[in-house]
Chain A
Amino acid sequence: MKDPHPTQRGPASAMIAFVVALAAVFLLAFGPVDALAAEPAAADGVAAGSYAPAPKLTAADYPTIAGINSRVAVWIFAQLHLWFAAFVLAVPIFVFIIEVIGMRTRDKRYDDMAYEFIKVAITAYSLTAILGGGLLFSLILFYPHLFTYLSTIFSASMFYYALLFFAESAVLYVYYYGWHWLQGGFKKWVHLSLGLILNAVGTTLMLLANAWLTFMMSPAGVDAAGVFSGDAWAAIHNFLWNPINIHRFVANIAYGGSIVGAYAAFKFLTATGNQEKAHYDWMGYNANFIAICALLPLPFAGYYLAAEIYAYSQQMGITLMGGIFAWLFIIQAVLIGTLFLSANYYLWCGMGRSDGAKRYTKYIKYIAIVLIGAFLVWFTPHTLVLTNEELKALGGPHHKILGPLGIMPAKNTAVNVMIIFTALSFMFYRRANKVATVSWVNAGNAIQVALFTTGIANIMFLGIYHGYFTNTVYKVAASIPQVLTTVAVIVGSITLDSFIYRGAKEVGPLHWGRIPGRAQYALFLLAVSFTWLMGLMGYIRSGIRQHWHVLDIMRDASPDAFTPTLGYAANVVSVAAILFMAMVIFVFWIAQVSGSKTLPAGYWKG
């Protein structure tokens, strides 16, 4: 039944629905938190302050199951849960944005793509829950005293966490199954509001869970013996809570984009017919775009997290970056370099969709050289772990020439340069299909070049002068203006380009589907590297607590309390990553099998 005046009743009732949705968002996001803050201490009607100190455990207090390594079990369940959780939190974010774009442009392709994204994710939700259950069981079975301690402190938030899943499931199912029902005018606003609520609930779930794990790293609301003060909010918003919240929120988006990109890449390679190819090429481009947008601010979120870890505990900070975990960050550098190179490579290949790209292809090799150079700087270690003979041969723990490239200012410079040049690649991609018509295009381009030149020069100045000619305090402080310079260059150049290309002519319609097959492998590389990197980082975050369940408060006395070698950790991450890939393939397969029909001849009666 078609509504003849879709936009007339819409606005008023839509606004009411939207306000109701926003109110629901606020209630969900902040209601439980307020209740927690007001909550006096726990059970049995006992007065506040009557909690026990953290238990002092011995090896006998950790139950075992024959043939299962407790630590590895919890590790793998947790990591698998995290991967899926990141995915199912990220997808609603960009689905919401894409739905909005569709509503504004009234281009149905966006709505269809949004629907396809959420369809891919739907099976992932139950896997997230299953793995969460597995994690919970293994924690209770293998680390019962730790779990008792944590659940005493976080009893309220854990209960609300469980309740929120009712909201999450209800909203998700109506959102997904009702996608084609809630179409047009008012209903579309309702649908969009459901998407907003889905995001709010999902984000709240993440915030609550983040509180528990950050409490283990930077406990708050407890005294030195681990006696809980009764203030649940203090325990929740501990020192590292917000840094992890920010980092995970942004990283989830980048990660979700990369996984969906892998899906699109595969569908592209197996597409039959040009239309299908074009559709999945477009999808892959959008997914990569989402991933890059979130990837650009991510190093800053990570740097902020590391800085806060340092600020909380210099010891933990130094273990993280100067001690035994330092080499992990060299592996991280390799992975991030891979991420940036694949994302850029995909963009460069994608330029071929436009007939006007030829004007910019000559610059690509320079961007590639800069990116590879920056990557090599980032990947250079500072202090080398050497045997005595090697030390004598080298004349010290650092390489005389390359060693200086390994210090943090050099790395900060490298990453800022990588980010700027990735943004540049993206600008070239966007420009490839446009011809500017404004009169001042030459001046505009000149200013763009000036902006990039001075920005890069400033980053180099801050990195080299403050990095090599001052002291530690200046070195660290200079990284802030470096970041701000990068942000200024990106925001400035995008803004300027939007003016330069006002009313620009299109060179021609983009040839979606005209992209080499190897570009799809860049998307696979992006997804796999991202997954492995997340696994590595998850290990580091958990591992820097070393032999503590709750830092400085509850010692880990289990037989597995030792910090494993890097190789061992990498192997566990790899096994988990392979398990994850298998599950994701299952998720993708389910997404399309629901559309398959078999017509068995002669099977059914009549």
Chain B
Amino acid sequence: MSVKGYFLPFVAGLVVFTAAFLLLDTAVMNMQGLGLIFHQ
């Protein structure tokens, strides 16, 4: 597997999807009146 052809897209995917999922989590928790991180 070539570095450029596989590794780079993989890392890019990881970054993009992590951000997207964290955004999803925060949005959905906010919709329920909560934050992502528990403070109490």
Give the B-binding residues of A (Cβ under 8 A). 442-447, 449-451, 453-455, 457-458, 462, 466, 469-471, 473-474, 477-478, 480-481, 484-485, 488
Chain A residue with Cβ nearest B11: A450
Residues on A with C-beta less than 8 A from B2 are: 442
Residues on B with C-beta less than 8 A from A446 are: 5-10, 13
Residues on A with C-beta less than 8 A from B1 are: 442
Chain B residue with Cβ nearest A444: B9
A458 B21 Cβ-Cβ under 8 A: yes
A466 B9 Cβ-Cβ under 8 A: no
Number of interface residues of B (CB under 8 A): 25
B13 A477 Cβ-Cβ under 8 A: no
A480 B17 Cβ-Cβ under 8 A: no
Chain A residue with Cβ nearest B29: A477
Known: A455-B21, A481-B28. A447 touches B9 (CB 8 A): yes
B38 A443 Cβ-Cβ under 8 A: no
Contact of A451 among B7, B11, B13 (CB under 8 A): B13
Give the complex CA separation of A473 and B21 in angstroms: 21
Residues on A with C-beta less than 8 A from B40 are: 471
B19 to chain A, nearest CB (A): 9
Residues on A with C-beta less than 8 A from B14 are: 450, 453-454
B32 A480 Cβ-Cβ under 8 A: yes
B38 A447 Cβ-Cβ under 8 A: no
B18 A454 Cβ-Cβ under 8 A: yes
Residues on B with C-beta less than 8 A from A470 are: 38
Residues on B with C-beta less than 8 A from A488 are: 21, 24
Residues on B with C-beta less than 8 A from A477 are: 29, 32, 34
Residues on A with C-beta less than 8 A from B29 are: 474, 477-478, 481
Chain A residue with Cβ nearest B17: A454
Give the complex CA separation of A451 and B12 in angstroms: 11
A480 B6 Cβ-Cβ under 8 A: no
Chain A residue with Cβ nearest B2: A442
Give the complex CA separation of A474 and B11 in angstroms: 31
A462 B13 Cβ-Cβ under 8 A: no
Give the complex CA separation of A429 and B28 in angstroms: 33
A443 B32 Cβ-Cβ under 8 A: no
Give the complex CA separation of A168 and B40 in angstroms: 58
Give the complex CA separation of A480 and B7 in angstroms: 32
Give the complex CA separation of A449 and B1 in angstroms: 14
A469 B38 Cβ-Cβ under 8 A: yes
Give the complex CA separation of A314 and B17 in angstroms: 37
Q: 16 A-B pairs, CB-CB below 8 angstroms?
A: A444-B9, A446-B10, A447-B9, A447-B13, A450-B9, A450-B10, A450-B13, A453-B14, A454-B13, A454-B14, A458-B18, A458-B24, A466-B38, A477-B34, A484-B28, A488-B21
B10 to chain A, nearest CB (A): 4
Chain B residue with Cβ nearest A470: B38
A198 to chain B, nearest CB (A): 38
8 smallest CB-CB distances across A and B, nearest first, come from A450-B13, A470-B38, A446-B10, A454-B17, A443-B9, A446-B9, A442-B5, A458-B21
Interface centre among A457, A458, A481 (most CB of B within 10 A): A481
Give the complex CA separation of A458 and B9 in angstroms: 19
Residues on B with C-beta less than 8 A from A458 are: 18, 21-22, 24-25
Known: A454-B17, A474-B34. A443 touches B6 (CB 8 A): yes
B39 to chain A, nearest CB (A): 10
Residues on A with C-beta less than 8 A from B38 are: 466, 469-471, 474
A580 to chain B, nearest CB (A): 40
B28 A473 Cβ-Cβ under 8 A: no
Give the complex CA separation of A373 and B35 in angstroms: 31
Give the complex CA separation of A488 and B6 in angstroms: 22
B34 to chain A, nearest CB (A): 5
Chain B residue with Cβ nearest A445: B6
Residues on A with C-beta less than 8 A from B12 are: 447, 450
B31 to chain A, nearest CB (A): 8
A364 to chain B, nearest CB (A): 21
Give the complex CA separation of A470 and B36 in angstroms: 11
Give the complex CA separation of A79 and B24 in angstroms: 41
B8 to chain A, nearest CB (A): 8
Give the complex CA separation of A345 and B13 in angstroms: 30
Residues on B with C-beta less than 8 A from A445 are: 6
B17 A481 Cβ-Cβ under 8 A: no
Give the complex CA separation of A442 and B4 in angstroms: 9
Give the complex CA separation of A120 and B27 in angstroms: 47
Contact of A442 among B6, B13, B25, B34 (CB under 8 A): B6
Residues on B with C-beta less than 8 A from A478 are: 29
Chain B residue with Cβ nearest A488: B24
Beyond the given A442-B6, A453-B14, please list 19 additional residue pairs across the A-B interface where CB-CB is below 8 A: A442-B1, A442-B2, A443-B9, A446-B7, A446-B9, A446-B10, A446-B13, A447-B10, A447-B13, A450-B9, A450-B11, A450-B14, A454-B17, A457-B18, A458-B22, A462-B25, A469-B38, A471-B38, A485-B24
A111 to chain B, nearest CB (A): 42
Give the complex CA separation of A477 and B5 in angstroms: 39
Give the complex CA separation of A488 and B2 in angstroms: 28
Contact of B17 among A451, A462, A484 (CB under 8 A): A451
B12 to chain A, nearest CB (A): 8
A231 to chain B, nearest CB (A): 32
Residues on B with C-beta less than 8 A from A455 are: 17, 21
A449 B10 Cβ-Cβ under 8 A: yes
Give the complex CA separation of A16 and B27 in angstroms: 45
B16 to chain A, nearest CB (A): 8
Residues on B with C-beta less than 8 A from A481 are: 24-25, 28-29
